[in-house]
Amino acid sequence: MYLYSYLMPKEVRERVDNIMDCEDIAMNFLAAHLSRKPPMKVPSNFDFHCAGCKANISKKKNFWDERSVCIQFLTRIYGYQPLLYTQSRTDPVTTEIPSVNEYGKCLSRPDGV
């Protein structure tokens, strides 16, 4: 949040404060700009629901248009489009990992400690 608050151009923070559906893209622009690395998809086993929400935010009439305008705005502010294409992803381990006790002899130091 420090980088977002102090390194993100002020124009971007003001835009995000005034327009919904741009904050996640702005954060990705900042991360890509600073790291020069592509994103890593990390799937979640959790399903997040908003009990008080009437509908999915992406169902709004102009949702995708607003996000396109956001990307165009951020590209203009940064002077380039820093988002990189990737096909990498990380998946959670789906098998049990043996406990240390099962491999105790392998993991013990030669001096017995």
* Contacts for 38 with CB less than 8 Å, ≥ 6 apart: 32, 84, 85, 86, 88
Please give the pLDDT value at position 107.
47
Q: Which of 17, 24, 65, 111 is catalytic?
A: 24
**pLDDT at residue 106 above 80?**
no
Question: Per residue in 23-54, pLDDT tens?
Answer: 999 999 999 999 998 877 766 666 666 666 66
- C-alpha dist (Å) from residue 45 to 49, 56, 91: 13, 19, 10
Q: Report the topology of domain 2-107.
A: Spore Coat Polysaccharide Biosynthesis Protein SpsA; Chain A (3.90.550)
Question: Per residue in 48-97, pLDDT tens?
Answer: 666 666 666 666 778 888 899 999 999 999 999 999 887 766 666 665 55
Answer yes or no: 47 catalytic.
Answer: no
